[in-house]
Structure 1
Amino acid sequence: MSKKLLLGIFLACITFSISAQDYFFKKFHPFNPEVPSPEEFLGYGIGDRHTRHDLIVAYLTKLSEVSDRASIHQYGQTHEGRKLVILTITSPQNLNNLEQLKQKHLQFTDPSQTPTNYDELPIFINLAYNVHGNEPSSSEAALLTAYTLAASNHPEILNYLDKGVIFIDPTINPDGRDRHTQWANMYQGNPLVADPADAEHNEYWPMGRTNHYWFDLNRDWLLAINPESRGKLNWYHDWYPNVVTDFHEMGSQSTYFFEPMKTNGSLNPIMPKENYEDLNNLFGDYFSKALDSIGSFYFTKEVFDGTYPGYGSSYPDLQGGLGILFEQASSRGHKQTTDFGEITFPFTIRNQYTSSITTVKAAVENKAMLRKYQQDFFKSGLTNASKSRIQGYTFGDDYDANRVKAFVDKLLLHKIDVYKSGNRFVVPTRQPQYRMVQTMFETYDKYRDSVYYDASAWSLANFYNMKYSPVNNLNLGEKVTSTENLVNTQAVQRSEYAYIIDYDDYNAVAALNYLQSKGLVLSSAFKPFTVKTTVGNKRFNYGALVVPVSLQQKKDADSVYQLVQEAQQKFQVPTYSIPSGYSVQGVDLGSRYISPITKPKAVMLIGQGTRSYEAGEVWHLLDTRVHMPITKVPMRNFGGLDLDKYNTLVMVSGSYHFSESQFNKIKDWVSKGNTLITIGTASEWAIDKKLVTEKLTKKEKDSTATVERKPYVDAPENIGKESVGGAIFKVDIDVTHPLAFGYRDTTIPVYKNNSVWLAPSKNAYATVGKYSKNPHVDGFITAKNMEENLKPSASLLVSEVGSGRVVLFADNPNFRGSWYGTNRLFLNALFLGDKIEVPE
């Protein structure tokens, strides 16, 4: 075959490939033929199939190899090992001088510097896609956007490249995306099936929205629990982009949403008014014109709000940037019937692609204003801090260094300055990240709105049950730059008698599990005591872990010492060598109040009907912090499950519909002496089905009362505000109860985002946690809910069933993997549940 004929075939293929994608980017011809289009690379047209994440990464890598406009960077990897990448696209000249441009750009985020060349530097734009894995149109749009910017020679695109640096993050949640991609492609019909009842449009639990541990990564920017978020935050604080996109999908019967959002919920929001009013309205004009030009319908200023600072569209707002939310009606597959006809996957992709290019256009055309806004943002942070009477916050915990360490780690990840002064930590308010300091420590009780898309409370210090105080005079001490050597426990000495692990430390449960997994038998102290150690007398609190040496059946003293050393070094828990069991004060080590701990054999029900978020939080906690396996059994398999293999069953919130025989199976199993742990609506289920004798808090309705007539249009707001979307309350706990071992303070903050109201038990010893007399800490709740539901209710109960017990949590102790302050309650239920007896 001649070279001329080969060239003709090659050009024909290029012509066909481009024309087949003209639905998306016809206006941006001509394209560089040496840069392959997505269709050429993948072998199918964008929108014909759902593209796997590895192919997305491969295509962007190819662009970085063939285009002098592009480079690729890996900023992390997921729990399942998938790459997290960002493709940088700009003009060749900008790309060759990127480091110098970056340093000049960062000067505008430093209040101590005063550059004024706002319009000289290219604007930094982060196009971020697909944080929810089963909202796939945006990652496909990312491929089209990357190709357009890397290959188009249209003057408009060349201008964007000259005046902008675009960072494309194609898939924030690769694990969830691939879960959904497999589903959609597996059930794709030929011809396509548009019927909404088809399997293609109805994923099975847990669906693809969440990551490996079923976390919603769009709530994780502030909490930073997962590697996807931590990697992105490290990248973010290295670059501080001026504009950040956050592309989503919503129900198929909707249209398209872009900002401006609903009115901000906070009465005095910590972000500047210019952000959520001026900038969003400015960009909104661009989006409306672009979508009008392709005939797409849309809406603004409804439903969504940016109150919670942990979204991909709100966190950038607290870093001097502009975060922008987009919501596209989803095809939930490749084609689906709606009230307006059929919505197709390519149609959803085109809207996201159009908004991507329009974001670049708006940013480039307003780059001087955006850069000055970012400069003013960080300067105003210092100004606002100077006006406040609070000069800083101090915090610490004398008994739990590892929980403090985890909190410090979170502060440092967000680039908050932290200092150590003696045994306390200090966070000054006068620093560039002042608004993040506010986010971590300030609490609110007044709001301009009452219905929230997500949480109305996020003061992170309370998540960690961190005792903190505002201060007017600072003694900073030494600056903390790393948590690497923040916890240094004194190495335990060898003992022939016993070792004691201080149970007040957050990592004590992980140490307990480690030693149990190695075959050691440990005991828990059900009364405090003071004993002589090799470093002097030491008083131990409820729950202290005793490791006897001579009582270990299969381990000699050397082996026990080696394992105890390993546990201490691995988890940095305070551990002490004990030469004698005779206490200085309190019970002796051979007392019946020093009780052996049974190794948990835990199983959790998952699958259709259960809340995947809560199940994932349990799984994540045990996997990543306790390193303890838990068997996850789908509801469809429960009938054949041999429950007698386990001593603990976890039921998270959900809608449970057991047959009579299945219900009796659970009841009989608990009655044999086992422990059932229920969370949220699972606790309601246990009460409703009379598994336990506890009651719900209910106020009888007055059937004779006159119903006030209200405008129909106000119904969503009036009804919505009665739900508890996420607020923080104080709970009084019984620190002598095994469920509360490890706590010193009788009051702790808890997170409530449900309407589960448990009545205090009629048994005087069964109410472990009750909401305080004045319970409000942070967040919105109606006066009716506060007085009629919350204040009379309990947060944590234990109810006896035969020889066993049910531990009922009204609130989720593991919320979003972040509630270090209440994790211990749940872990105690796992490890100490069988020790709980409910006295009559």
Structure 2
Amino acid sequence: MKITKIIGSLVSSAMLCFSAASQATSPPKPAEAIKYDLWPDTQYDSRIPTHSEVLGYQAGERITSHGDMLRFFEALERAAPERIRIFEYGRSWEGRKLIYAAIGSPENVENLEQFAANMQRLADPRITSKKEAQSLIKTLPASVWLEHGVHGNEISSTDAAMMSAYHLLAATNSPVVDEILANTLVFIDPMQNPDGRTRFLSFYYANAGLSHSGDRLSVDHNEPWPRGRSNHYLFDMNRDWLAVTQPETAGRIKILNHFKPTVVIDLHEMGGDSSYFFVPAADPINPHMSQAQLANNDLIGRNNANYFDQFGFTYFTREVYDAFYPGYGDSWPTFYGASAATYEVGSTRGEVYRTRSGEVIRYKSPVQRHFVASMATAEAVAQNREKILSDFYQYQVDAIETGKKDRAERTFILPAKRDKAGSHRLATLMATHGVEVRQASEGFEACGNDYEAGAYIIDTAQPRGKFVKTTFTRQVDMAEAFIKEQERRRARKLNDEIYDVTAWSLPLLFNIDTDACGREVEVDSIAVSADTPLQGEVINPDASVAYLVPWGDMAAGRFLTAALQAGIKLKSADQAFVLGDKQRFPAGTLIIEKKANSSDIAAKVAGIANKTGATVTGVDSSWVIEGPSFGSRKAVPMTAPNIAMAWDSPTSSLSAGATRFVLERQFHYPVTAIRSDTLARADLSHYQVLILPSGHYGDALGERGASNLRQWVKQGGVLITLADATRFAAQSNIGLLDVKREYIYQEDSSGGAANGSEQDQVDGQLITSKAQLLDIIDSEKQSPDYVAGVLANVEVDQEHWLTAGVNPNVVSLVVGSDIYAPMQLASGKNLAWFADADKVLASGYLWKENQQQLAYKPFLLHQPMGKGMVIGFTQDPTSRAYLDGLNVLFMNSVFRAAAHADPIR
């Protein structure tokens, strides 16, 4: 990545020098009018540089790279600095600059920071009265934020962003532009995912032929793994707005919280045979959205429709793209008070595309549609400036009042002592989102419970209260009518219309015990910021015998990985133990014996504790009165394993990216990515752990690959399979896990012939109802119905070394249709299983039949094999890297499992 940054810097410097030189030698041009055809009958000021002048091609003629995009915006800023300002808000993982442009009248651009300050005032009715707010609303411009290209291979929006900026600056005879600039500030984020776009463009132009092919079968339209959609760590960043794991997302959230734009539009692409989607959104709608926000979206949608009718563009609304999940780029701004929406255009996925109807679409077409929609949106915002600003202010008023009236969940309390690192991560995450979080400086009582100093407090009677409610409340319900329709469709054997997960409660995802109190909590406290550090400490730093790190949170986990990489010798206790002075330590506790390490071990331990936030206790005696002693075989020496993971097709890129991210960026431990088909024949003796992320490995590995993995495991390797990889491992011809997936449970049979019958004819039968018809045409042996995404309760075996330090109850995301029969004791153990049918659903909407069949079925499987073992997760514990509550269990599967295997060292 360092090389990438250096090269990028040199290229950028060279481009800047070239641009400066060109500008210095070119005489000023007269302000003669020029024309573009993307908005007919508009004349443009030639003093504003065109696409052709800066880049050598017309708008929509070629797919613009990250570097060319920067050049174009920099040229616009040089030409009209009083009306456009360019700002950097972050860098991608690969070091590419992330920018936004602010465009408006000279007065509004000059006073950007005052605008931000005024929006902060308008966003807080506790400091701004209704009268003061009305005064601000009369003078403040409204603002629209246009987000482009969060998916790197959804290409047209970036070129549309460039055209939007040019049009706003150069159009000379446009009443629409005049009205926009008079009443709004337009913010343009032209490329949210430069790493993914660069990956796509590298593929596309490297494979283009004499003429660009529109054939969907051509290489032009078939990207290789992992495709350009995701960023460097292969994240779908449109799902990262809750956990905020990626730097691109964090930078964007910070600047949105600063300006609080009143309308936010996220511009995407969909399949090339589709037309254009804009608001109103499809059902279900998040119940914490206001009717005013929905009404504003309707106003914007109607104005879009007017222009699309004028241009002859087809479109659709109220289908597919809902407004339920709060973790999208179009929904997250809703919960600070913006009116926000997704726009989707049929993609050419290149310079040309032939639809199924035979129509040939050029790249300029989706570019123009996004551009027209952007201008129509900005005009609607300008025309409804006061209403939109008034609704923004009222949203804050309503949020505070709603919080005050809540007699059940006004205040959420995170008792930090239960999971110090997890509570800190959740508290600082909420602060990142702009939520006011306090940390108690002293002990206090609230709603009948006593809390120690250090507990985190979040009062929902604040402007961001609705965001707290939608992310902290255990259950957010979809509308009853929508659920009823989905059940009707399912009964008719039709696909449901649920677009994404139906559950996302952050305390559940993080496995953090969170208490709710129906009143305000008053206690001396300090404000928590996104950058508030987790304080580590060493109790009794001058201990003479050992240092102990209680296991069970990620502070201890990061202490382990740092210690291993620093060459520190340490052990981990398989069971809880009690020292002679009655100090109790949980299973998994790390033991660093002073005599086994170098003389500077005290300084090393203190340094790692400070860096990781871990709590370390020094002890002067190793006398244990309960549980394993330090010298017991149950105090297992920890070693630094070499970890490999499958990469490339057929691995799921999202699972592979999230798994690698969790290992490298949350565990802070290196991993080697190996192409999946290489694993079929590779000598893996260098590695102690191999992870197969979710994926369909049948063709890439097959029986030969399974045999290679099986021999490696028998020699002491630890194989970890996630989700669909567990399905592969469980196949009878693969033989890596002795479990089977279940068919759907049916109490009775329809009596019809099974699909695939070898008979040419079947017995005659009478069909007397439509219900009987549906039963007959249904396969007798089918998988359970697909689940879009719910949170499920999982019970954890507390008497196995693999679950050391893990809570008795955790929560997992459940997606898909795989349900496994329990493993027999002769083969291994079911170490975690889904809860009873009445308790299994933690949050979301789960089909009743799945809920009943999922009960007591395995989540975590452990199967010894020779000197090694296979560990199977039936669901993906690293999904979206937001299941922080499963990190200790996953870490055990890597590091404690490697310590318990018996390879030849």
Q: TM-score, normalised by structure 2?
A: 0.86
Selected match of 1:742 from 785, 805, 814: 805
- What SS is found at the alignment partner of 1:63? helix
TM superposition shift of 1:357:
0.8
Match 2:656 to one of 611, 615, 621: 615
The equivalent of 1:350 in structure 2 is: 368
Taking the TM superposition and a 5 Å limit, the aligned residue runs for 1:227-376 are 227-264=247-284, 269-276=287-294, 278-340=295-357, 341-376=359-394
1:472 CA drift (Å) = 2.4
Structure 1 residue 804: deviation in Å?
A: 2.1
Q: One-letter code of the match for 2:695?
A: G
Question: Is 1:807 the equivalent of 2:871?
Answer: yes
Q: Deviations over 1:75-98 (max 9, x none)?
A: 111111111111100011222233
Identity between Structure 1 and Structure 2 (%): 28
C-alpha contact (below 8 Å) 2:643/2:687 kept by paired residues: yes
In 2, Cα distance between equivalents of 1:344 and 1:437? 44
* Aligned equivalents of 1:652, 1:609: Cα separation in 2: 10
Q: Which amino acid is the alignment partner of residue 374 of structure 1?
A: F
Q: Is the 8 A contact 2:336 2:463 kept in 1?
A: no
Give me the whole-angstrom Cα distance separating, in 2, the residues matched to 1:265 and 1:173. Answer: 27
Aligned equivalents of 1:720, 1:800: Cα separation in 2? 28
Distance 1:265 1:721, change over 3 A: farther
Contact 1:259-1:325 at 8 Å conserved across structures: yes
Q: State the Cα distance separating 1:573 from its structure 2 match.
A: 0.9
1:632-683 alpha-carbon deviations (Å, 9 max, x no partner): 1122433452211111111111111224322211111112221110111111
Deviation at 1:590, TM superposition (A): 1.0
Query: Partner of 1:210: helix, strand, or coil?
Result: coil
Alignment partner of 1:205 out of 225, 244, 248 = 225
2:68 aligned to which of 55, 78, 81 = 55
Question: 2:457 matched to 1:426?
Answer: yes
**Cα shift readout 1:776-797 (whole Å, capped 9, x = no counterpart):** 1110111011112x11411111
* Residues 445, 139 of structure 1: alpha-carbon distance in 2 compared, 3 angstrom cutoff: closer
Aligned counterparts of 1:399 and 1:189: Cα–Cα separation in 2: 61
Q: Which amino acid aligns with 1:754?
A: G
Closer, same or farther: CA 97–74 of 1 in aligned 2, 3 Å:
same
SS in 1 for 2:302: helix
Distance 1:197 1:614, change over 3 A: same
Change (3 A) 1:473 1:8: closer
The alpha carbon displacement at 1:492 in A equals 5.6
Q: Distance in 2 between matches of 1:736 and 1:108?
A: 55
Which residues of structure 2 form unaligned runs of 5+? 1-23, 444-451, 487-496, 753-766
- 2:553 corresponds to which residue? 505
1:127–1:167: 8 Å Cα contact kept in structure 2?
yes
Cα distance in 1 for residues equivalent to 2:257 and 2:816: 34
Q: Pick which of 394-403 and 250-259 moved more.
A: 394-403
More divergent stretch after superposition (751-760 vs 376-385):
751-760
Aligned match for 1:751, one of 813, 821, 844: 813
Counterpart CA distance in 2 for 1:816 and 1:585 is: 40
1:381 CA drift (Å): 1.1
Question: In structure 2, what is the Cα distance between the partners aligned to 1:563 and 1:443?
Answer: 41
CA contact (8 A) 1:439 1:460 kept: no
How has the CA–CA distance of structure 1 residues 27 and 316 changed in structure 2, closer, same or farther, with 3 Å as cutoff? farther
Deviation at 1:584, TM superposition (A): 4.1
Note the 1:379-394 alignment, pairs <5 A: 379-390=397-408, 391-394=410-413
Q: Equivalents in 2 of 1:43, 1:373: separation in Å?
A: 44
Please list the CA deviations of residues 121-166 of structure 1 after superposition, one character each: whole Å capped at 9, or x if unmatched. Answer: 2111111111111001000000111111122222421221111101
C-alpha separation in 2, matches of 1:355 and 1:728: 37
CA distance in 2, matches of 1:239, 1:739: 47
Which segment is superposed worse, 581-590 or 160-169? 581-590
The aligned amino acid for 2:816 is N
1:475 aligns with 2:530: no
CA distance in structure 1 between the aligned counterparts of 2:647 and 2:265, rounded to whole angstroms: 33
What does residue range 334-733 of structure 1 map to in structure 2 within 5 Å? 334-340=351-357, 341-390=359-408, 391-421=410-440, 422=443, 423=452, 424-444=455-475, 446-448=477-479, 449=482, 450=486, 451-477=497-523, 478-482=525-529, 484-490=532-538, 493-531=541-579, 538-552=583-597, 556-558=598-600, 560-656=601-697, 657=699, 658-688=701-731, 689-699=734-744, 702-704=749-751, 708=771, 722-733=785-796
User: Which residue of the partner structure matches residue 787 of structure 1?
Assistant: 852
In 2, the alpha carbon distance for the partners of 1:332 and 1:298 equals: 19
Answer yes or no: is the 8 Å Cα contact 1:420–1:476 preserved in 2. Answer: no
Gapped regions of structure 1 (runs ≥ 5): 1-5
Are the structure 2 counterparts of residues 14 and 262 from structure 1 closer, same or farther at C-alpha, using a change threshold of 3 Å? same
The answer on whether the counterparts of 2:681 and 2:705 sit within 8 Å (CA) in structure 1 is no
Q: CA 1:303–1:517 in structure 2 vs 1: closer, same or farther (change >3 Å)?
A: same
Amino acid across the alignment from 2:219: A
Instruction: Return the offset for 1:232.
Output: 0.9
Q: Which amino acid aligns with 2:327?
A: G
The Cα shift of 1:749 comes to 1.5
Name the CA distance, whole Å, in 1 between partners of 2:856 and 2:721: 20
Would the alpha carbon gap of residues 590 and 438 (structure 1) be closer, same or farther in structure 2, given more than 3 Å must change? same
Give the conservation status (yes or no) of the 8 Å contact 2:860–2:871. yes
CA distance in 1, matches of 2:471, 2:48: 46
Q: CA deviation at 1:537?
A: 5.2
Query: Secondary structure at the residue paired with 2:303?
Result: helix
Q: Which residue identity is paired with 1:209?
A: R
Cα distance in 1, alignment partners of residues 784 and 400 from structure 2: 35
Shift in alpha-carbon separation, 1:107–1:576, aligned structure 2, 3 A: closer
Q: Which amino acid aligns with 1:460?
A: L
Closer, same or farther: CA 379–13 of 1 in aligned 2, 3 Å: closer
* Bigger mean CA offset, 73-82 vs 505-514: 505-514
The answer for the alignment partner of 2:84 in structure 1 is 70
For 2:560 and 2:608, the matched residues in 1 are separated by: 8
Please say if residues 496 and 557 of structure 1, whose CA atoms lie closer than 8 Å, have aligned partners that are also in contact: no
For 1:700 and 1:373, locate their aligned partners in 2 and report how far apart those are by CA, in whole Å: 50
Partner of 1:3: none
CA gap 1:105/1:429 in 2 versus in 1, 3 angstroms:
closer
Give the aligned residue type for 2:841.
H
**Count of residue pairs the alignment pairs up:** 811
Q: Which amino acid aligns with 1:148?
A: H
Distance 1:725 1:468 in 2: 26
Report the RMSD for the aligned CA atoms in angstroms.
2.6
Given candidates 186, 189, 209, the residue that maps to 2:209 is 189
* 1:355, distance to aligned residue in structure 2 (A): 0.7
Structure 2 SS opposite 1:300: coil
Amino acid at match of 2:583: K
Select between 53-62 and 240-249 the one with higher mean Cα deviation: 53-62
Assess, with a 3 A threshold, how the Cα gap between structure 1 residues 699 and 455 changes in structure 2: closer, same or farther. closer
Deviation at 1:229, TM superposition (A): 1.0
What amino acid sits opposite 2:111 in the alignment?
A: N
- Quick one: distance in 1 between partners of 2:38 and 2:216? 26
Deviation at 1:613, TM superposition (A): 1.0
Read off the aligned partner of 2:373 and give its amino acid letter: S
Query: What SS is found at the alignment partner of 1:206?
Result: coil
SS of the equivalent of 2:240 reads: helix
Q: Secondary structure at the match of 1:490?
A: strand
Q: Secondary structure at the match of 1:249?
A: strand
Q: Secondary structure at the match of 2:579?
A: strand
Tell me the residue number matched to 2:764. Answer: none
Q: Does 1:121 align with 2:185?
A: no
Instruction: Judge conservation of contact 2:785–2:817 (CA < 8 Å) in 1.
Output: no
CA contact (8 A) 1:692 1:801 kept: no
Contact 1:445–1:780 (Cα < 8 Å) also in 2: no
Q: Using the alignment, how far apart are the partners of 2:116 and 2:557 within structure 1? A: 45
Separation in 2, partners of 1:507, 1:806: 27
Change (3 A) 1:12 1:417: closer
